[in-house]
Structure 1
Amino acid sequence: MELLFLLGSIIWNTVISLALSLLLPFRLLLRWLLPSDDDGGLTLYEGVVWHERRRPVHHSFQYNVRSLLTIPPSVGYEQNPLSLYYCYELEDSTASLKKCIAEVTNTPWGERVTFVFDPSSDVVAKALHVSPFMDMQGSWKMKATAPGRDLSVVISVQHPDLGEHFCAVLRAQRVSSSNAPDQMFFFWLMPHKVAVWIYWHALKLWWKSVSFVQHPRYSYPAYREEAVSLDKKLNCCKAGVYGTSGVCLREDKDVVGHQFSWTDAKWPWS
């Protein structure tokens, strides 16, 4: 059922996107005849996303991406693995980046987890099944710079058996306002390109005989509670002071945690 739904959704989204793409010239003409300043406050970025899987087999690729710290829908289709929201502290008219909110969405299920992390460097328990070729063990090591002329986001997966076996990096530059194109064309088919890269490289991993990992909701429904428990352990003892039984010996009671919030998948993935 799920495979049939996936194939059907690909065909449906292809037809809808093709039809809406044919209407783009008319929308552009309408915006030229009736100009507005709705997009004046948006900052656009253009850069490269690089993925590297080191173990159990080596596999890497990169692709160009256009974003405004999220990838908006284009011609009826949405595909946005990661959105970041930046939280600043104002002091004497000076803004300093204090926290980031990450919104991670998996493909094709469409589940979502949102959490807070320290952009300077943080370790977050893995709280979402993001790939059918990765298990739920381990944690995400995350780092992000404040958006300016340039921005970067680095996420690596730390696994208890495989070590730091996966890394994803985004490096982007701000698009000059004088050169910024119309957003409909700037983001045209961007979600589709991301989806193609995801599915194509999933097929290549399968071809390389990387083990397929079933969604944990079938084999271990309590995986979210397990992620919260692991995250508390990571936060209460960031200095790494544990006893032989795994009990935290130095607890930081001021640590709030990453405040996970999940959004369930919709039918038929639910």
Structure 2
Amino acid sequence: MEAFYLLCSIASTFVSSTALSFLLAIRSFSRFLSPILANECCDRAAVRLYQGRVRHSRTKPVFNSFEYPVRYALFDLDRVQHDSHFSADRAREAAGTDGPVFLLTIPTSVGYDQNPLKVYYCYDLGEEGEEEERWSLPRLKNCIAEVTNTPWGEKVFFEFAPGSDMVAKPLHVSPFMDMIGNWKIHASEPGDNIFISISVQHPTLGNYFIATLSAKRVHSSTTSLNMEKYFWLMPHKVAALIYWQAVKLWWKNVPFIGHPKYSNPSYRDDALSRGNEICPLRINRRQSNKLNQNSNGESRTRWCIWRDAEWPWA
């Protein structure tokens, strides 16, 4: 059944993306005829563009490694209406913060959205309540990861501490990995450079897999037309590479692992329990008071929710 839905998704995406790409070409041509109409401006202070590389490396049960170029955008969610499941207010509520929220994502391109990982960077305001310059805030307090699997049409949102943190694996992301083990996450504060790494720590296989994103800021025009051209087919390329690597792993006889919902319907509850056992989220006194938790500021239950992704499994 998953294969049928996947083929339907590929077919519908091909048709819609082809049509919208044709319209994008017309808009690009119209720029020479009517620059004012073609150059609808974006808020330059509300978005940053990045270009870098994603690298995956697996050592067991077989070695497999690859990398590919990628482009990302960092949006100030208080200034940009972004097609995301989380608004700035919802992210602040989940993260226990009261300042700006920035979303790192691959924007939708010609009708298609494919983001294996999105990150919400959640800041606190100063002690006196003032808001500092938005792109140089030193108080990054919490992060939220949004991870999507393909082709099961699921996504999970969970919080993690900036810098370095560990969470119990909450989602069946790959049919060539089981649900056992933890994700060790490193995430730097976004600036001129962005770095994120997620490694799998498995009780029997060890640290057998790591994925990294490293990117640098690109100083480029952020008109709506240029944004569309900059990210043209970027989500499609990411999806194609995901499936191609799956084919390679299958060809190397890596065992196929079915979705845990068929064998363990409570796998989500198990992931929550394991997550709070291995590393409860550390918070400070101000966050503790805002969340109406214990005033000692020691720790609190880690927040995590699951949702069904929208068609075609964005």
- Paired with 2:161 and 2:281, the residues of 1 have a C-alpha distance of 16
Q: Deviation string for 1:191-225 (max 9, x for gaps)?
A: 00000100000000000000000001111111001
Is residue 2:52 matched to residue 1:63? no
Aligned-pair identity (%): 53
Alignment match, 1:49: 54
Match of residue 168, structure 1, among 211, 216, 221: 211
Paired residues, number: 256
CA distance in 1, matches of 2:166, 2:231: 32
Quickly say closer, same or farther: Cα 1:175–1:15, change in 2 above 3 A: same
The answer (yes or no) to whether the contact 1:123–1:141 under 8 Å persists in 2 is yes
Q: Deviations over 1:166-212 (max 9, x none)?
A: 00000000011469981111000000000010000000000000000
Aligned equivalents of 1:39, 1:24: Cα separation in 2: 21
Aligned to 2:42: 38
Task: For 1:113 and 1:26, locate their aligned partners in 2 and report how far apart those are by CA, in whole Å.
Answer: 38
Alignment deviations for residues 137-178 of structure 1 (CA, whole Å, 9 cap, x no partner) = 001000111111111001001011101110000000001146
Alpha-carbon shift at residue 268 of structure 1 (Å): 11
- State the Cα deviation string for residues 4-36 of structure 1 (Å, max 9, x = none): 221122122112111111111222326833233
For the residues of structure 2 that align with 1:140 and 1:217, how far apart are their CA atoms? 20
Distance 1:57 1:205 in 2: 8
- The equivalent of 1:242 in structure 2 is none
The runs of 5 or more residues in structure 1 that have no matched partner are 239-251
Shift in Å, 1:77: 1.1
Judge which range, 61-70 or 6-15, deviates more. 6-15
Identify which of 198, 223, 241 aligns with 1:197: 241
What SS does the aligned partner of 1:17 have?
Answer: helix
Change in 2 beyond 3 A, CA 1:24/1:178:
closer
Choose the corresponding residue for 1:232, options 266, 271, 276: 276
Are 1:8 and 2:8 matched, yes or no? yes
CA contact (8 A) 2:41 2:222 kept: no
| Superimposed CA distance per residue, residues 67-113 of structure 1 (whole angstroms, 9 cap, x where no aligned partner) | 11201111111111100011123337453222111111111122111
Q: Are 1:121 and 2:164 matched, yes or no?
A: yes
Q: TM-score, normalised by structure 1?
A: 0.88
2:122 equivalent in structure 1: 87
Q: Which runs of 5+ in 2 are unaligned?
A: 74-103, 283-295
Q: Tell me which of 112, 115, 126 is aligned to 2:155.
A: 112
Q: Does structure 1 retain, via aligned residues, the 8 Å contact 2:56–2:65?
A: yes
* TM alignment of 1:90-105, pairs within 5 A: 90-91=125-126, 93=132, 94-105=137-148
Distance 1:137-1:25 versus aligned 2 partners, 3 A rule = same
- How far does residue 226 in structure 1 lie from its aligned partner after superposition? 0.4
CA RMSD after TM alignment: 2.4
- Over 3 Å counting, the alpha-carbon distance change for 1:178 and 1:139 in structure 2 is same
Q: Verify the 8 A CA contact 2:160 2:281 in the aligned structure 1.
A: no
For the 8 Å contact 1:2–1:268, the answer to whether it is kept is no
